[in-house]
């Protein structure tokens, strides 16, 4: 192997991130589909929003608890990175503009931004409160 080639450990890490990302994306599709079906009458477009907020909460918690770069890459970058989706949020926003659903658009954008930040903070808070890992110190 040349000096520029990734090591076996690096390849294993990348494979783990790949599998975790696919798992996160699959979970996102399944959960957002269920949410859309359950709330289509009362809260259209809720699937992407709810999944992203749950993902933000989990990312905050995991970031507070997981201290090794190996597991942070797998869990935060792979699993939860695949689970949450900025691109779906952006596509939904463009769709709402195209249908001139200005109120829903404003609600979606505001809730994603403010709610996302609050959920990440809540994840950190929960990890500290429950005494997990580095967050406990």
Tens-digit pLDDT profile for residues 79-130: 999 999 887 888 889 989 999 999 999 999 999 999 999 999 999 999 999 9
* Residue stretches of the annotated binding site: 81, 84
The pLDDT value given to residue 8? 66
Angle among Cα 64, 68, 74 to the nearest 5 degrees reads 90
Predicted TM-score of the model (pTM): 0.79
CA distance 121 to 81: 17
Rounded to 10 deg, the angle between the 116-129 and 46-65 helix axes is: 40
The pLDDT value given to residue 137? 45
Of 124, 94, 109, 96, the C-alpha closest to 52 is: 109
Q: Which residue has the tokens 């195209």?
A: 98
* Residue stretches of the annotated binding site for Na(+): 81, 84
Measure Cα distances from 8 to 12, 14, 18, 129 in Å: 6, 10, 15, 38
60, 115 in Cβ contact below 8 A? no
């Amino acid at each position: 192997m040349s000096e520029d080639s990734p090591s076996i450990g690096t390849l294993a890490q990348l494979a783990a991130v790949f599998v975790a990302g696919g798992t996160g994306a699959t979970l996102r599709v399944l959960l957002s589909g269920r949410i859309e079906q359950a709330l289509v009458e009362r809260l259209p477009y809720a699937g992407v929003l709810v999944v992203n907020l749950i993902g933000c909460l989990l990312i905050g918690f995991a970031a507070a608890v997981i201290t090794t770069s190996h597991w942070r890459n797998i869990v935060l970058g792979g699993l939860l990175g695949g689970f949450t989706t900025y691109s779906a949020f952006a596509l939904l926003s463009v769709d709402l503009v195209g249908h001139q659903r200005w109120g829903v658009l404003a609600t979606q954008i505001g809730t994603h931004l403010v709610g996302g930040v609050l959920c990440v903070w809540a994840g950190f808070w929960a990890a500290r409160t429950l005494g997990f890992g580095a967050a406990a110190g």
